[in-house]
């Protein structure tokens, strides 16, 4: 299922790129406008892969849900492929249980630092108000800083980088000249540490600067 | 929209994602680990050791093999295992005696460490006398030839393929140290037990080792433990959410939360040395200094177990490896260096200045013939590390200048050493 989803997205992105290239006007010398767009989002995350709880813990309780917050800065050029950076804090999972000495807790979260490419599905329809213009797919690659927090016989905070990637799909609704609201479903995947989470977010999108 | 290129790109992407294969090589045989040797009395065991020609099964295991017994000690009990080392694909056999059988029978498994090939095997020991295969129960006469024949199979399938070993000559008896890396072998070679665990220390002899190198680090509260990498990671431990340098965690935290890949606890250095002393016949321990900081706790354990080995009349050398200038500084900072054997991995000048009795250069520096001969002329022992290439293992053993080889593939070192003439 995951592979199928990736294939469909790849076909879409490749098709978008092809269509964008085919529609460019080589006689046009003036470029722009360019826009810097800042998105701030929050929502719900679900840890969607195998997690490990030590068998030494008695009566363990596990939480796969969290409240992620992300910040994305995108450059919207005068063509459809957009480029930007994304970071934030994404809770992965936590568990707690009774260990021999006391109650023990572990929390795992990730700070994504990703190069993100995004493209609206606008080649399906040309009008500004069409649904397709407001739908976008995005994909990114880069690093995750995986953070672990242990409370048991003391507190230990650790972190390590992991290569990883993300995929997402969003819908954006204009609510003013400078602002939009968007909802986005994302898949964050940190490969080296085998951590992955689905994230559903509501985002405030600010078209901060145009030239 | 031209669809075909995108479909092709997608297909390649799918192939890429689909290529993440999980490799596994579970041991296809469950050992009874019963103490005792049954019909395999000491003279019988001694007569079985040797270099054998492979009559049936040469395509899988090569033209000749070396058979060697090893032992696990548990108080007054001794459990006997027969190892067979082959020259092909880092392949070895581990067999245990069948005490209930009315003939000399062995059963176990074989495994190739360069891949995931493995399978079960059963062998019987017979003697070829006057051209006839006969039951063997000890007592060879002139003209007799020992033959181990039986079957082997793949994975857990019932063994059906013919396997025959025919005795050629005794094992090479020249003293040589077969030193196993990471307490016996690497987790990444899909062994049944994890590297730097108590369980692999007990297994090391069956993989051909006469000694082991173990990686020593300190926990946050100063307990010397065995662990190779500088951080907790999924290569070595089961997923538990913890990350970062192992030195950030106390011993209690590690014991509660961390299990090695195959489920074992991270052992303390003291537990490891206790196991080596009381459960194995290993005669050499190389304490690799992975930590930064004082060496006194490691020195204290080294001296404690050295004394216990002397009292138990065990042939056991425990040396502290000095791989870096930092480790040399830590050694030099010890207030009392008496009875603290060391092994220097740095150059010959530093080795001489420390008066280390063992010099251990890395193998990638080449044979270093002049330096090796000079150090040996000064009555120093010379090992080389960490050599896993069978071609170079064979070359180094054939040239005969080194006193031992540290390797992740101790079965290969054992094979080339024991078949030497």
Q: pLDDT, tens digit, for every residue of B72-117?
A: 999 999 999 999 999 999 999 999 999 888 899 999 999 999 999 9
The rounded mean pLDDT for chain B is 94
Q: pLDDT, tens digit, for every residue of B154-175?
A: 999 999 999 999 999 999 999 9
Determine how many CB atoms are found less than 10 A away from the CB of residue B296: 13
* Weakest-pLDDT range from A129-143, B12-26, B121-135, B280-294: B12-26
Tell me how many degrees the CA angle B197-B392-B91 measures, rounded to the nearest 5: 50
A48 against B100, higher pLDDT: A48
Return the percentage of chain B with pLDDT > 70, whole number.
95
Contacts of A29 (CB under 8 A, 6+ apart): none
End-to-end CA separation in angstroms for chain A: 42
Q: Please check whether residue A166 lies inside any domain of the structure.
A: yes
Task: Using alpha carbons, select from A105, A110, A109 the residue that is nearest to residue A95.
Answer: A105
**The tokens of B301 are what?**
């354990």
- A27 pLDDT exceeds 70? no
The C-alpha of B230 sits at a distance from chain A's nearest C-alpha, in angstroms, of 12
Q: Please check whether residue A34 lies inside any domain of the structure.
A: no
Determine how many CB atoms are found less than 10 A away from the CB of residue A53: 18
- B38 pLDDT exceeds 70? yes
Band of pLDDT at residue A17, cut at 50, 70 and 90: very low
Judging contacts by C-beta atoms under 8 Å, the chain A residues touching residue B18 are: 3
Contact B320, B341 (CB under 8 A): yes
Question: Which residues, numbered 244 to 263 in chain B, qualify as contacts with chain A under a Cβ-Cβ cut-off of 8 Å?
Answer: 244-245, 248-250, 252-253, 255-259
Return the percentage of chain A with pLDDT > 90, whole number.
71
- A205 pLDDT exceeds 70? yes
Q: Please check whether residue A31 lies inside any domain of the structure.
A: no
Judging contacts by C-beta atoms under 8 Å, the chain A residues touching residue B234 are: 192-194
The rounded mean pLDDT for chain A is 87
Q: Please check whether residue A89 lies inside any domain of the structure.
A: yes
* Weakest-pLDDT range from A102-106, A160-164, B34-38, B246-250: B34-38
Q: Please check whether residue A1 lies inside any domain of the structure.
A: no
Q: pLDDT, tens digit, for every residue of B289-327?
A: 999 899 999 999 999 999 999 999 999 999 999 999 999
CATH at A72: 2.40.160.20
Q: pLDDT, tens digit, for every residue of B222-240?
A: 999 999 999 999 999 999 9
Averaged pLDDT for residues B25-52: 95
Structural domain for A206, as ranges: 39-50+62-210
B338 against B205, higher pLDDT: B205
Report, in angstroms and rounded to the nearest whole number, the Rg of chain A calculated over CA atoms: 20
Averaged pLDDT for residues A62-71: 98
Averaged pLDDT for residues B50-71: 97
Q: Does A58 touch chain B (CB under 8 A)?
A: no
B165 DSSP β-pair partners: B54, B148
Averaged pLDDT for residues B389-400: 96
Determine how many CB atoms are found less than 10 A away from the CB of residue B304: 13
Answer yes or no: do B243 and A146 touch at CB < 8 A. Answer: yes
Averaged pLDDT for residues A180-208: 96
Helical (H) or strand (E) element with A162: strand A155-174
Q: Does A158 touch chain B (CB under 8 A)?
A: yes
Interface test with A, best of B4, B236, B256, B265 (most A CBs within 10 A): B256
The C-alpha of B271 sits at a distance from chain A's nearest C-alpha, in angstroms, of 20
Band of pLDDT at residue B350, cut at 50, 70 and 90: very high
Report, in angstroms and rounded to the nearest whole number, the Rg of chain B calculated over CA atoms: 23
Question: Which residues, numbered 115 to 144 in chain A, qualify as contacts with chain B under a Cβ-Cβ cut-off of 8 Å?
Answer: none
Question: β-pairing, B381-384 with B358-359?
Answer: parallel
CA dihedral B225, B227, B231, B233 (to 10 degrees): -130
- A7 pLDDT exceeds 60? no
- B14 pLDDT exceeds 70? no
Averaged pLDDT for residues B261-279: 97
> In B224-333, where do the E strands start and end?
224-226, 231-232, 244-245, 284-289, 317-322
Judging contacts by C-beta atoms under 8 Å, the chain B residues touching residue A107 are: 241
Helical (H) or strand (E) element with B339: none
* A6, A52, A106 member nearest B17 (Cβ): A6
The C-alpha of B291 sits at a distance from chain A's nearest C-alpha, in angstroms, of 19
Can you give the pLDDT at residue B100? 84
Band of pLDDT at residue B22, cut at 50, 70 and 90: confident
Residue A59 exposed, middle or buried by CB count within 10 Å (0-12, 13-18, 19+): exposed
Can you give the pLDDT at residue A24? 47
- B371 pLDDT exceeds 80? yes
Judging contacts by C-beta atoms under 8 Å, the chain A residues touching residue B254 are: none
Q: Please check whether residue A16 lies inside any domain of the structure.
A: no
Band of pLDDT at residue B421, cut at 50, 70 and 90: confident
Cα distances (angstroms) measured from residue B328 to each of A99, B291, B333, B349, B355: 40, 12, 9, 13, 12
Domain count, chain A: 1
* B10, B240, B253 member nearest A153 (Cβ): B253
Band of pLDDT at residue B13, cut at 50, 70 and 90: low
Q: Does A150 touch chain B (CB under 8 A)?
A: yes
Handedness of CA B39, B43, B44, B49 (dihedral sign): positive
Q: Which CATH class is domain B177-418?
A: alpha beta
Determine how many CB atoms are found less than 10 A away from the CB of residue A202: 13
Averaged pLDDT for residues A176-194: 95
Q: Please check whether residue A178 lies inside any domain of the structure.
A: yes
Q: Does A208 touch chain B (CB under 8 A)?
A: no
Judging contacts by C-beta atoms under 8 Å, the chain A residues touching residue B255 are: 56
Residue of B nearest to A1 (CA): B14
Can you give the pLDDT at residue B11? 67
Interface test with B, best of A12, A22, A56, A63 (most B CBs within 10 A): A56
Can you give the pLDDT at residue B294? 95
Can you give the pLDDT at residue A33? 86
Can you give the pLDDT at residue A20? 45
Q: Does B161 touch chain A (CB under 8 A)?
A: no
Can you give the pLDDT at residue A133? 81
Can you give the pLDDT at residue B3? 58
Answer yes or no: do B243 and A159 touch at CB < 8 A. Answer: yes
Helical (H) or strand (E) element with B78: strand B77-86
B52 DSSP β-pair partners: B65, B167
Q: Please check whether residue A33 lies inside any domain of the structure.
A: no
Q: Does A21 touch chain B (CB under 8 A)?
A: no
Contact A129, A106 (CB under 8 A): no
Determine how many CB atoms are found less than 10 A away from the CB of residue B335: 6
* A13-47: burial string, b at 16+ Cβ within 10 Å, e else: bbbbbbeeeeeeeeeeeeeeeebebbbebebebeb
């Amino acid at each position: 299922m995951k592979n199928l989803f990736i294939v469909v997205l790849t076909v879409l992105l490749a098709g978008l790129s092809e269509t964008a290239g085919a529609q460019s006007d080589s006689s046009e010398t003036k470029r722009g406008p360019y826009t810097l767009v800042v998105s701030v989002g929050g929502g719900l995350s679900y840890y969607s892969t195998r997690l490990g709880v030590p068998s030494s813990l008695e009566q363990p309780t596990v939480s796969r849900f969290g409240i992620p917050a992300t910040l994305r800065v995108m450059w919207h050029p005068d063509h459809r492929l957009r480029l930007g950076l994304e970071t934030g804090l994404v809770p992965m999972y936590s568990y707690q249980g009774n260990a021999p000495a006391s109650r023990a807790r572990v929390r795992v979260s990730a700070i994504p630092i990703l190069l993100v490419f995004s493209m609206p599905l606008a080649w399906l329809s040309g009008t500004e108000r069409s649904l397709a213009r407001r739908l976008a797919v995005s994909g990114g690659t880069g690093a995750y800083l995986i953070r672990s927090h242990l409370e048991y016989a003391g507190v230990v905070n650790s972190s390590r980088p992991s290569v990883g990637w993300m995929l997402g799909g969003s819908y954006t609704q204009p609510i003013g000249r400078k602002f939009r609201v968007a909802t986005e479903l994302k898949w964050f995947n940190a490969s080296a540490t085998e951590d992955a989470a689905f994230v559903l977010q509501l985002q405030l999108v600010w078209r901060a600067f145009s030239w | 929209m031209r669809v075909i290129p995108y479909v092709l790109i997608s297909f390649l992407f799918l192939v890429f994602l689909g290529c993440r294969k999980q490799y596994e090589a579970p041991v296809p045989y469950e050992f009874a680990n019963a103490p005792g040797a049954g019909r395999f009395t000491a003279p019988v065991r001694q007569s079985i050791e040797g270099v054998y020609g492979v009559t049936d099964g040469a395509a899988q295991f090569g033209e000749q093999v070396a058979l060697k017994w090893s032992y696990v000690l548990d108080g007054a009990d001794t459990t006997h295992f027969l190892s067979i080392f082959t020259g092909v694909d880092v392949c070895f056999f581990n067999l245990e005696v069948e005490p209930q059988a009315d003939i000399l029978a062995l059963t176990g498994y074989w495994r190739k460490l360069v891949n995931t090939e493995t399978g079960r095997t059963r062998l019987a020991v017979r003697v070829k006398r006057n051209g006839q295969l006969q039951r063997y129960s000890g007592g060879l006469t002139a003209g007799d030839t020992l033959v181990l024949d039986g079957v082997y199979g793949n994975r857990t399938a019932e063994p059906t393929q013919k396997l025959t070993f025919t005795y050629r000559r005794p094992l090479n008896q020249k003293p040589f140290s077969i030193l196993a890396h990471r307490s016996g072998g690497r987790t990444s070679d899909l062994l049944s037990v994890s590297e730097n665990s108590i369980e692999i220390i007990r297994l090391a002899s069956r993989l051909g080792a006469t000694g082991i190198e173990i990686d020593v680090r300190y926990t946050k509260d100063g307990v010397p433990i065995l662990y190779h990498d500088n951080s907790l990671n999924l290569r070595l431990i089961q997923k538990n959410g913890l990350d970062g340098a192992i030195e950030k965690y106390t011993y209690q935290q590690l014991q509660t939360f961390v299990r090695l890949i195959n489920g074992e606890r991270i052992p303390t250095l003291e537990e490891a040395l206790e196991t080596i002393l009381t459960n194995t016949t290993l005669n050499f321990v190389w304490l690799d200094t992975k930590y930064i900081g004082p060496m006194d706790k490691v020195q204290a354990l080294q001296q404690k177990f050295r004394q216990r080995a002397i009292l138990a009349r065990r042939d056991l050398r425990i040396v502290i490896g000095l791989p870096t200038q930092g480790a040399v500084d830590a050694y030099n900072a010890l207030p009392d260096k008496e009875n603290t054997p060391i092994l220097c991995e740095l150059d010959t000048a530093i080795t001489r200045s420390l008066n280390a009795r063992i010099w251990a250069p890395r193998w990638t520096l080449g044979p270093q013939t002049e330096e090796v001969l000079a150090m040996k002329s000064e009555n120093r022992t010379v090992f080389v590390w960490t050599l896993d290439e069978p071609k170079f293992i064979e070359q180094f053993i054939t040239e005969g200048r080194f006193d031992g080889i540290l390797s992740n593939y101790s079965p290969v070192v054992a094979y080339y050493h024991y078949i030497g003439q």
